[in-house]
A and B are shown apart, each in its own frame.
Chain A
Amino acid sequence: MASSDQLTREVILPVPPEEAWDSLTKEAELEAWFADEVELDPRPGGEATFRWDGRGSRRAIVEEVEEPRRFAFRWDELPDGATRSEGGPGTQVVFTLHDHPSGTRLVVVESGWRAAAPLGALKAHLSAMALA
C-alpha cells in the first residue's frame, strides 16, 4: 500500500537537456509519447489539454518554466468524463532535467496525493496491530 506523498520516476535520454526540453514543452513532440493530442501554452499560468484516443482527456495548468531545467504543471480536479488513470486530482507534476554522461537524466515527481497521509496512518496502525 503506498504511503508516500510522491511518485518518482526517471529515465536517461541520449540528448542534452536543451533538446530533451523540447520533448516536454512542444505539442508535436508531446504527442509522440505523452498523449495522442496535446494543446499546451508552455508559460506559467498557461493551460494544457491532453487527449487520449478512446480514453478521454485531462487538463492542467502550467506552474513553473525554467528552460531547460525545470517544467511543472498541476492536473485538474478530475471533472466527470475525464480519464482517471492519467494523473491524480490536483496533483503537481515536476520534471527536472539533469546533466548525465549519456545526455540527460529526466526525473518526474508527481506529488500532492491527498490519500497519502491517511494511507500512511492506516499502514502504521495495521503494522502496530500486527505486532500486538
Chain B
Amino acid sequence: MHQVDAVFAALADPTRRQVIERLAAGSDVTATQLASEIPITRQAVAKHLGALTAAHLATAERHGRETRYTLVPDGLSDAAGWMADVGLRWDERLGALQKKVEGRRQA
C-alpha cells in the first residue's frame, strides 16, 4: 500500500485524528498525558499511538521510564500533496468539460 494510503487509513478513525491534531499542535507527549486529555482509556491511547507510529505519522522515543511521542510531519505533507493532486485533476476535468460543451455548441 502506498505510504499516503496508510496515512489516510490511520486518519480514518476520529480518535486517531484527535491524537494527531494534538501532536501537531504542540510538542511531544506521553500516552498517559494523552489519556488525561482525550476521554478514552490508556490502553486505547496506546493502541492508537501504535497505529499512528506504524503509519509513520508519529515516532516514539524512550526517555528513561517514559515513552514520548512526536509528530512526523512527512505523512501529513504527503496527504496535503494528495489533496493538491486532486485539485489539479479537477482543473483538468472541468477544462475538458468546458471544451466538450463549447465544441458541441459550435457543431
Contact = CB atoms under 8 A, between A and B. Distances in A.
Given A14-B102, A23-B97, A113-B83, A84 B21 contact: no
A118 B86 contact: no
Interface size class of chain A, counting residues whose CB lies under 8 Å from the partner chain: 35 or more
Tell me the dominant secondary structure on chain B's binding face: helix
B89 A85 contact: yes
B86 A125 contact: no
B76 A119 contact: yes
B26 interface: yes
Given A86-B86, A117-B17, A125 B26 contact: yes
Main secondary structure of the interface of A (DSSP, over half): mixed
Interface residues of B, number: 41
Contacts of A122: 24-25, 71, 73, 76
B77 interface: yes
A45 to B, nearest CB: 22
Contacts, number: 112
A114 B7 CA distance: 10
A126 to B, nearest CB: 8
Interface of A: 1-2, 7, 9-15, 20, 23, 32-34, 77-78, 80, 84-90, 106, 108, 110, 113-119, 121-122, 124-125
A119 to B, nearest CB: 5
Contacts of B94: 9-11, 106, 108
Nearest to B26: A125
Contacts of A86: 86, 89
Closest 7 CB pairs of A and B: A115-B79, A122-B24, A121-B24, A33-B96, A114-B11, A11-B94, A33-B97
Contacts of B90: 7, 9, 108, 110
A2 B84 CA distance: 8
A115 B11 contact: yes
Contacts of A9: 87, 90-91, 94
B12 interface: yes
Given A7-B83, A108-B90, 8 more contacts: A15-B105, A32-B100, A33-B97, A89-B8, A113-B79, A115-B11, A118-B24, A118-B76
